[in-house]
Every structure is written in C-alpha cells, then in structure tokens.
Structure 1
C-alpha cells in the first residue's frame, strides 16, 4: 500500500474492540480504519489475552494489517514486561520487519511500558506518540485518581500513594514515578483527549509543550430522527457504558429509587452496558436488587455495538453520565451530542469539561444521590429546557477531523 503521507504508521492498542469494547480500544481502532480508508500505509497492533497459536506471539486478525500481540505484563505496579521475550525478541523482530516511521501508542498497560524503550532502541528515528487515556502513570489505583477509601484524590505524591497502599513504601512510589518518567522521555508527543487530563499530567511533571489536546473522534453517522413523539408522557433517560462501580450505575439507580412515585410515573430508564458479571458479587447483588425494585421503569438492555448507538440514542430524551471518578473524555458524551441528545453529567473532570451546564446538558454534584435525583426531577418537569439544549448542541468533531489533526503530528 502506498501512503499519501509518505510514512508507514503503526497504531498500537492495549486491546482490540472485537475482543474488549473499551473506549480507548474503540478510539484507536476508529483511527486505524479512517487512516486505512484514506489509503495510508497503516498497521494496527492490539494486545490479546488469548494464548498464542504455534508458539508465536502474533496472529492475524481481519486481514494482514491487523495483528494481535499475545503477551501480558509481569509486574502490575510498574506495568512491566521486562522479562518477557515476546517484547525483547518477537516484538523487536516485528518492528524491524515493518519499519514504521510513526508509532502511535494508545496505551502500554497489558503490553508492558518497556515497549516505548524497545521502539526507541530498535527504530531510533521513528516518531513515538502516546495518547494518555487516564491517570495510570500517576495513580496506582486503576488510574482513577480515587483513594482506596473511596475519596477523590486531588494530588498524588509518594506519601499520599503509600497511604492508600500500605504494603508499599513512599520510596516504592518515588521509584515507580522515576521509572515511568524515564521511559516517557522517549515519547516525542503526548496526546490528551481533554484539557483536564493534560493539566493533571503537567502538574505531575510532563512539560506542557509536549502534550497536545485532541479529542477522540467519532465515525460519521447520519442523524436519526427521534423515534418517539415529542409530547410523550414518559421522559426517557438512558445510561451507556461499563457496568462497574466507577461508572456510577449504582448511584444512578439509587437516585431513581429516591424519586417520588409521581415522578417515576413520568419516566423510564434504559441501561445499555456490559461486564456486570466481571464485578464483585457484592456489587452484582446491589445492582440486581435495585433493578428488581425498579423493574417497572428501569430496563436492563445488556451490551450494545457501536453501530447500534445512533438508533438507540434516537429513542431517548437524555443520556446520563454519572461516573464517580474524574473521567477523561467519555466517548458516550460525543456520541450523544452527535445525535443531538443532551447529557446529564457529574460536575467533575472531563465530564464537566465536555458538557456545558445550561448549554448542551446539565451538571449534578458528583457522587450525590440526592442532587442527581433532583436534576432528574428538574429535567422531567421542565421539558422546554431540553428543547433549548438540543438546539444549542454543537456537533462534535468527526473522526475525519480528528485524523487530520493527528496527521499533522505524524508529518
């Protein structure tokens, strides 16, 4: 394949959306598909948790340009893969064979953070770009910037981190930070999908000039007209996303349960999400109990494909994003805005940045069941507010516009 850009591009992800449908995985794959559609010389490499076939670390997927990398990290504290020959031997050989000019990493977790150094050693003239999708380099608690006692964390430090993880010392976290920052020195440009996340990494120590803010783009889809009548007696709310404690699904169900009966009679809530069975039994039991109690107005629709979103969104009045951590740039917000659906979101992090209160959505006090409940009541009792918000929603930048910005960096 001849490249219009004149460069070979390798996009690397910590998972393939055919296997794991996370926001970062979808974002990286959307970029690959758009670049390929333009005729660029691009390959897509994604980590796979499945065991390899025939002893090799790689296998093909959807054709020759999509490659699964069968590897894993040995040290979750450092995201390290330093003892695995899959990184130091097989991956190195693949780099020498492909010889990409630009390597765009959408992550290092599951792959091994040493992958950055291996790229630099093997292809010293290649440009390395890393998209930061959350706060994993800063925060050992799943990159959430949330303390292990559940409180929001406003600033990391070796001492603060050791208070959360008593089995580690401040020295352990000091050395962890130094190790990650040393490997990050090999990165030419960092990309942050939100200004909020960029600010956190600048505060942590990455030079501001090295981080570009570029949103995760959405594939272009035709706007589907709402499939219900505007004067419907029921106001339809919907949740889209992973069914885990951090996404706030429990908070949302508790807020709905708190509503007076007169309000519940005028609404429905659809839950579109996956991976509830991967959560703790305690969390599963809580969600199951709340769903049972609200079975007359809350409907658990299960997982969905991204291609189904336009139709699903055409059937709702509001999308609720109740995450109880800072978030970076939830893709569901862009997806909702693309279909002209206003969003009710927590007033922190990337959510507060992406949703402007009173313009294209409403904020509620993060983690507050009562305030979310009151915001839902406000939305139901003030139907003209929704119409005004719909008219002022700006269509988000499409994947085509996003890739244009990335190509400027690649060049």
Structure 2
C-alpha cells in the first residue's frame, strides 16, 4: 500500500491555524483514496511520562520545541534526529509531506531525509516565515509598510540587534535546510513567486490550492421587495494585520441612509490579547458603529455553514499580503462572493473571479466598494461566477501518483 506521513506544527483539533487545517484535510482525503497515512502533529507541553510521542486517536502528537526563532532552529536535536527518525523508519513511508517546521526546527528536513533517504520529501509553504522574521508577515515592524522582498539591510532595520550579515547567514542556513526538500507546494502563485525569487528552485515548485472537505453551497439569502445586499461578514482572527479596523472605518464612512440598513457580523476572537493601542482603537470604532456591528465570537468549522448563510458578502480587508486564506475557499464553496484587499493572495483568488477588490488599507476605497456591492445585480453577477469544483483534490492525487511512479522506477 502507498504510505504517506504528514507532519504539521499543530493538530487542527488543538490549534486552528491554516496550515494545520490544510494538512488535515489532505490527510483525510488521501485516506479516503486508499493511502496508508500517518499524521504527526507537534504539541505543546510534555507528554504523560515525558516521552517524545503520545497518541490522540489515530494521530501521533510530537512533543518538542524550537529554541532559536531567529534561525528557525532547535538546539535539541534528539527529538528530530533520533526519536522522529526512528518512528519514520518503523512506518517506512514512500512520501513525507511536511506542512510546517515552526516549534520543531528547520532541521526537520535533513532529519527526515536522513531517516528515510528513499522517501520523497514534500513541503507545503504556508507563509513567509523563512524569509521574514516579523512573524512571516512581510511588513515593516514599526510602520507596517508592505515589503516587496526580503533584503538583509531592510531586515536589519526592523531588527537592529541583528546585522545585515546575520540575516545573510540566516538566509543561507535556511536555504541549506530546504535543499533536502524534493518538491515544494504553494497554495498561491503569488507565494510561489516570492519563494522562487528568494532562492527556492523553480523546477521544484508546484502551485496547488489547499484541499477542503466537501461543502454544500448555501442558497443566497432571500430578499424582501426592494431590499439590497447589505449584510457583510468578517471571519478570522482579530489582530492588526487582518484589517478589521479598516473595515470598521469603512462602515463609518458610508452615507447615513446606507448605514441604517448595513450590518456587519464579526466572527473571530483574540481582540483581548492584542496591544493596548490596537485594542483601544477597535473598541472605539465598535462603539461608534453601534448596532451596525455584532460580535459573534469564534466558531468551529461545523458552525461555519450556518454563520455564512446569514451574510451576503464576506470581507477580507487584510493589510498584509495573505497567501491563500482558507476563508476565501470556504466562501466560494458555500456560495458567497467576496470583497478583498487588492494585494497578494487575496487579489489572486478574488479579483475577476470571486468578487470585488479595493485598494488595500484604504477605508474610503472599501466604503465605495461596499456601496457598489449592496446592489443586488452586483451580487448576482459574482454569485453566478462562483464554482465549487475542487480541482485541488485531483491535482494533489496526480502529483502523488507521479512521485510514486518515480519511487517505483528507482527500485526502492
């Protein structure tokens, strides 16, 4: 039987990040298609008895940590080069698909290759962490100005405790570890190009969207006579990069007669743990917006269908590039057009395909776009453009079959 190991920096039942969910969805899809799969997820805290591994259902939790966030490195190599390696040798996979190295260490790539040298190593890129020390956001640390590319001089200005030479060595070290990867997958062309420009070989790069579970479209909200498409929704974490403050400012710029009809549901959390400046800014805007806004809090994936049924448009006002936000795919599959910032993966996934875009970081531009979006004919146009075809499932299986063919051809 074809054997695939997935390695994620978190279990999706314990951590709701995009990489965790993407790896889990593909893991489930491959199991349904007859692959023998093992899912290994890094977990916080020590296991019972202090062992490196513990079980969560059929999955394995990997108890380890990363000590050097500058170099994305770990000084504790035993969990990678001894414990994980032994587990991989016992399972003897044909393919090891890594979805992140955070909390484990960038050395996971040579560790895996050394443990199972005949297995193909796939790495799905989910963000810019390798090239950007600022949480992988590719924005300036103080001004939040967008970075078009990572340069050692600019990086040193964001983090003056490290010289440009330090960043040059950092890049060299990380790329050396990535040399152990046989194939890279990026869920967006935008992200793929950034990494190829940074030094990842173009011949190893594949652009394949993340896999979603099967989702049934939600019928559009029924309108009363003369009613417009005035119900907007925001899904995601509430932090300075997601642009909720821009969206709230846009609401306040709408003409009074439109404000009386527009509503915004905010589905997300973590405002309470943000910096005081950002938290206070959002709280002031929420107070001014009043009854236009409802805070509906975090949600589980099984609740998304009902929540998205209540809205007409999903708004993604992020001020950073984004790569392939899962909410874009989910909105498309559930049948809701989007309004998104005209940068990065948002522009790639939405513009001329699934809705409207606006000038990133501009509340006035977003307000104008929302005024356009409330017209029923605009909603109908973009709703009719949406397609729930999951080509990603076919593309992932096709790539794996090609790798298995290569594996067989080597005689392994």
Could you say whether these structures have the same fold, taking a TM-score greater than 0.5 normalized by the shorter chain as the test?
A: yes
Match of 2:349 in 1: 354
- What is the SS of the residue equivalent to 1:54? helix
Structure 2 length normalisation: TM-score?
0.93
- State the shift of 1:160 in Å: 1.8
Q: Aligned partners of 2:321 and 2:368: how far apart in 1?
A: 21
- State the shift of 1:402 in Å: 4.8
Match of 1:173 in 2: 167
Q: Aligned partners of 1:202 and 1:89: how far apart in 2?
A: 32
Match of 1:226 in 2: 220
Give aligned pairs, total: 402
* TM-align CA RMSD: 1.7
The Cα offsets for residues 186-243 of structure 1, whole Å up to 9 and x where unpaired, read as 0000001011111111111112111000001211122222354364456100011111
Q: Aligned partners of 2:228 and 2:385: how far apart in 1?
A: 24
- What is the SS of the residue equivalent to 1:302? coil
Q: Aligned partners of 2:287 and 2:77: how far apart in 1?
A: 47
- State the shift of 1:84 in Å: 4.2
Match of 2:266 in 1: 271
For 1:4-403, what aligned pairs fall within 5 Å after superposition? 7-63=2-58, 66-148=59-141, 149-229=143-223, 231=225, 232=227, 235-357=230-352, 359-380=353-374, 382-397=375-390, 400-403=393-396
Structure 1 length normalisation: TM-score?
0.93
Alpha-carbon contact 1:241-1:247 (below 8 Å) kept = yes
Q: Aligned partners of 2:256 and 2:300: how far apart in 1?
A: 33
The Cα offsets for residues 360-384 of structure 1, whole Å up to 9 and x where unpaired, read as 211100011111111112222x321
Change (3 A) 1:248 1:396: farther
**Where does the alignment leave 5 or more consecutive residues of structure 2 unmatched?**
405-412
Change (3 A) 1:83 1:53: same
Alpha-carbon contact 1:132-1:191 (below 8 Å) kept = yes
Q: Aligned partners of 1:402 and 1:303: how far apart in 2?
A: 32
- State the shift of 1:350 in Å: 0.6
**Where does the alignment leave 5 or more consecutive residues of structure 1 unmatched?**
none
Alpha-carbon contact 1:218-1:398 (below 8 Å) kept = no
